[in-house]
Amino acid sequence: MSLDRLWVHSARARLWRWLLGEFVHAPIEPILHPSATRLRWAGFSVFFGNLIFYAIWTVVVRQPYESLFLRIVAACSGALLFLPIISRDASSYRGAWLYSAVCWLVMPVFFFWMYWMNGGNAVWLASISAMFLIYYHMTDWRLATVGSTTGALLSWLVFNALRAPVEASASFSIENLVVIGFAWGTAFVLGFSSANLRRTRLINTLSTMAVMAHELRTPLATVDLLGDVLRNQAQHEMPEQKQKKIEDLATRLQNLVRSMNRQIDTQISNAQLLRLPNEKSPVHAAELVRDVVANYPYRSSHERDCVEVFVQQDFCFMGSRALFSQLLSNLIKNALYSLAASSHASHPGDLRITVGVYHGKGRLAVADKGLGIPHEHQQRIFEPFFSTQTGVGSGLGLTFCKNVVETAKGHIGVFSEPGEGAVFVIDLPLHTATAPERAPPS
């Protein structure tokens, strides 16, 4: 009996963890496969599709109810997908919510309204079924489920409130409910399984990368040991000039090992971007930035001199200090790479990290005067495995940064002009328990 109870308890715990992982902790994707081209085509389809179907349902196959006004409103909603707030930064909160609102209005709300108004006839029964498949294909299955439910309910309430003079008995016929239920269930299963498959593939790929990065520590440990051997050999009856050269070589080897180990730590952290720890504690921004800048493994003193920290106003936020340290290291590494690849020699202040408070939120800004980012790439730089550095890096660093910021309820964005550098801006909610204090510029 005790074994049975233990098994039941274990099964419940596994089921609870699975539910949390799939329904709560899994990242929500308001825009599936975001790209400017995809969004513009979606807007194009919504805009012209509504106008075309209005002509079809009023001229070719006349329906009991059609509304030119609603069709124009739906078409104009599709035109919103052409706005720069979405097309330039599809990963932003504002763009994601605007996209979700457009999809909700032009699909479940509008389609169910037309279904009720047309008495649930065959045309709109088929349209509702197609709408479910399209909706679950365009957004996260959880958002699509909530949107479909609220859209159907809202349109029904408005339909009844207006006492529309339409016979609605067919809308609730057993046959219609079975068809709608089957279409909705099919779309739900397809959306859920597709999201699970995408996440599983990404986790497996990231796990493989983490293992490969970890395995590099063994040969690096051997190189570090060789540095110690060289330093010991230099202490035995050697001319002073030769001894100095050998010690210098040993120091360079060990500095290289430390730098490589830091890069390995970075890649392992990046590979955990879907399984970030939830530990949070108060973090003081100025202290965090100064600590990361001081301990970063620069390749030369000239590279170190390029970095300046400017504290306009210190602030405190809730987050993981370790994760945000790695985040800043990623941004510094990318900025230094951009400076090194630019055509002009770098100078002090070419990489500037600013700490301040802006519009009631804490702000960290990492600005460089390097190559900049092409406009067509700016909307994709936070996608996994996308990199502007051909043949360099894994393309996970900025995805990791985005996920870390979002776990702290913040937002990260980029502003860049090709050839003029880039500015990565991180806005974070202030920790209310600690009021921000002004700090002198450093």
Phi/psi for 414 (5° steps) reads: -130, 140
> Which residue has better confidence, 222 or 297?
297
The whole-angstrom separation of Cα 404 and Cα 389 is 22
User: 51 pLDDT exceeds 90?
Assistant: yes
Q: CB neighbours of 318 closer than 8 A, spacing ≥ 6?
A: 280, 281, 282, 283, 408, 429, 431
Please answer whether residues 102 and 67 qualify as being in contact, where contact means their C-beta atoms are separated by less than 8 angstroms.
no
pLDDT of residue 206: 59
pLDDT of residue 123: 92
User: 438 pLDDT exceeds 50?
Assistant: no
Q: 179, exposed or middle or buried, with CB in 10 Å at 0-12, 13-18, 19+?
A: middle
Q: Which of 244, 326, 320 is nearest to 282 (CA)?
A: 320
> Which residue has better confidence, 9 or 156?
156
Is the pTM of the predicted complex or chain greater than 0.75? no
Chain position carrying tokens 């590494």: 333
Q: How confident is the model at residue 105 (pLDDT cuts 50, 70, 90)?
A: very high
Q: How confident is the model at residue 311 (pLDDT cuts 50, 70, 90)?
A: very high
Instruction: For the chain, give the secondary structure using H, E and C.
Output: CHHHHHHHHHHHHHHHHHHHHHHHHCCCCCCCCCCHHHHHHHHHHHHHHHHHHHHHHHHHCCCCCCCHHHHHHHHHHHHHHHCHHHHCCCCCHHHHHHHHHHHHHHHHHHHHHHHHHCCCCHHHHHHHHHHHHHHHHHCCHHHHHHHHHHHHHHHHHHHHHCCCCCCCHHHHCHHHHHHHHHHHHHHHHHHHHHHHHHHHHHHHHHHHHHHHHHHCHHHHHHHHHHHHHHHHHHCCCCCHHHHHHHHHHHHHHHHHHHHHHHHHHHHHHHHCCCCCCCCCEEEEHHHHHHHHHHHCCCCCHHHHHCEEEEECCCCEEEECHHHHHHHHHHHHHHHHHHHHHCCCCCCCCCEEEEEEEECCEEEEEEEECCCCCCHHHHCCCCCCCCCCCCCCCCCCHHHHHHHHHHHCCCEEEEEEECCCEEEEEEEEECCCCCCCCCCCCC
Q: How far is CA 218 from the centre of its chain?
A: 33
Amino acid at 75: A
Q: Of the ranges 245-254, 263-272, 338-347, 412-421, which one carries the lowest mean pLDDT score?
A: 263-272
Q: How confident is the model at residue 305 (pLDDT cuts 50, 70, 90)?
A: confident
Chain position carrying tokens 């060289």: 230
Residues in the chain: 442
User: 351 pLDDT exceeds 80?
Assistant: yes
Q: In what order do the strands lie in the sheet with 361-368?
A: 307-311, 351-358, 361-368, 421-429, 411-417
Q: How many CB atoms lie within 10 A of CB 289?
A: 24
Mean pLDDT confidence for 384-412? 73
User: 440 pLDDT exceeds 60?
Assistant: no
> Which residue has better confidence, 275 or 403?
403
> Which residue has better confidence, 46 or 390?
46
Q: Of the ranges 87-96, 148-157, 243-252, which one carries the lowest mean pLDDT score?
A: 87-96
User: 161 pLDDT exceeds 90?
Assistant: no
pLDDT of residue 420: 85
The whole-angstrom separation of Cα 288 and Cα 439 is 14
Q: How confident is the model at residue 34 (pLDDT cuts 50, 70, 90)?
A: confident
Q: How many CB atoms lie within 10 A of CB 198?
A: 13
- Mean of pLDDT over the chain: 79
Q: How many CB atoms lie within 10 A of CB 421?
A: 22
pLDDT of residue 442: 45
Q: Which residues pair with 309 in a beta bridge?
A: 353
Which range has the top average pLDDT, 140-144, 300-304, 397-401? Answer: 140-144
Mean pLDDT confidence for 386-409? 71
Which range has the top average pLDDT, 136-150, 213-227, 368-382? Answer: 136-150
Chain position carrying tokens 């010991």: 232
Mean pLDDT confidence for 39-56? 91
> Which residue has better confidence, 31 or 269?
31
Q: How far is CA 176 from the centre of its chain?
A: 39
pLDDT of residue 270: 55
User: 1 pLDDT exceeds 50?
Assistant: no
Please answer whether residues 271 and 211 qualify as being in contact, where contact means their C-beta atoms are separated by less than 8 angstroms.
no
pLDDT tens figures, 274-304: 556 667 889 999 999 999 998 887 877 888 8
The whole-angstrom separation of Cα 35 and Cα 38 is 5
User: 308 pLDDT exceeds 70?
Assistant: yes
